[in-house]
């Protein structure tokens, strides 16, 4: 009995232990590009939102169709979580005009106002990719990262997810829910919206 009670207490304390917060890596600097609608896109529009980013191009014969299908899966999975946005940056701004990106967005059923496809000046995209996300270059070679990146309401990087790995998307969705729950507890949830489902 003397041993049993401490074990019960230990089990209770372990069960109450909270999941540690996601790491904070660095903040993405401000940027201005063009969305698939042809309208200017300012990174200020992402302030206050959790968002997921990737780098693709529309004529990619390799990983991009898989990545965009995965991002569509993320879009479906986060329907119940308000304020989460998705941002796909092209690494081929010469060919990926807003009209081309709009057609690509339609192909993957991108939700208007939720999932943005961005193009712009190559130098601006290079700066975002190399200096902001630290994921390589936009230099015309069309070589690009296959990672998804999770960012918080302050555009701080909170996680990287290697999309070819089987466990990457479940881990991303878990972390989105955890981050949304953390921000709700901190009082940053959108007005009039229900609290997000708790991560398991």
Assign residue 74 the CATH number of its domain: 3.40.30.10
Cβ–Cβ < 8 Å for 87, 119: no
> Is 91 contained in some domain?
yes
Average pLDDT over residues 103-110: 97
Residue 80: predicted pLDDT: 85
Q: How many domains does the chain have?
A: 1
Residue 17: predicted pLDDT: 56
Dihedral-angle region of residue 123 (phi above 0 means left; psi in -120 to 50 means alpha; beta otherwise): alpha
Q: Residue 105: pLDDT band by 50, 70, 90 thresholds?
A: very high
Average pLDDT over residues 138-154: 85
The domain of 112 spans 24-185
> Is 18 contained in some domain?
no
**HSE, side-chain direction, 13 A CA sphere, residue 131:** 9
> Is 7 contained in some domain?
no
Q: pTM of the predicted model, to two decimals?
A: 0.82
| Arithmetic mean of pLDDT over the chain | 84
> Is 62 contained in some domain?
yes
> Is 36 contained in some domain?
yes
Cβ–Cβ < 8 Å for 183, 50: yes
User: Among 191, 162, 158, 163, which Cα is nearest to 177's?
Assistant: 158
Residue 139: predicted pLDDT: 72
Q: Residue 7: pLDDT band by 50, 70, 90 thresholds?
A: very low
Whether residue 9 is predicted with pLDDT greater than 50 in this model: the reply is no
> Is 12 contained in some domain?
no
As a whole-number percent, the residues of the chain with pLDDT over 90 amount to 64
> Is 194 contained in some domain?
no
> Is 6 contained in some domain?
no
Q: Residue 186: pLDDT band by 50, 70, 90 thresholds?
A: low
Residue 5: predicted pLDDT: 41
């Amino acid at each position: 009995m003397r041993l049993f009670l401490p074990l019960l207490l230990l089990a209770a304390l372990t069960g109450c232990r909270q999941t540690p917060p996601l790491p904070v890596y660095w903040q993405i600097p401000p940027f201005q590009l063009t969305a698939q609608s042809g309208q200017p896109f300012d990174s200020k529009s992402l302030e206050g939102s959790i968002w997921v980013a990737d780098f693709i191009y529309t004529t990619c014969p390799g990983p991009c169709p898989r990545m965009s299908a995965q991002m569509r899966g993320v879009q479906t999975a986060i329907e119940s979580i308000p304020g989460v946005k998705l941002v796909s940056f092209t690494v081929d701004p010469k060919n990926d005009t807003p009209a081309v990106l709009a057609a690509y967005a339609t192909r993957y059923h991108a939700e208007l106002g939720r999932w943005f496809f961005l193009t712009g000046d190559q130098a601006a995209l290079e700066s975002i990719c190399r200096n902001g996300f630290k994921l390589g270059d936009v230099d015309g070679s069309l070589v690009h990262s296959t990672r998804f990146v999770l960012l918080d309401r302050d555009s701080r990087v909170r996680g990287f997810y290697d999309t070819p790995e089987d466990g990457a998307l479940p881990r991303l969705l878990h972390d989105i829910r955890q981050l949304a729950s953390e921000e709700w507890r901190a009082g940053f949830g959108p007005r009039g919206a229900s609290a997000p489902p708790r991560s398991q």
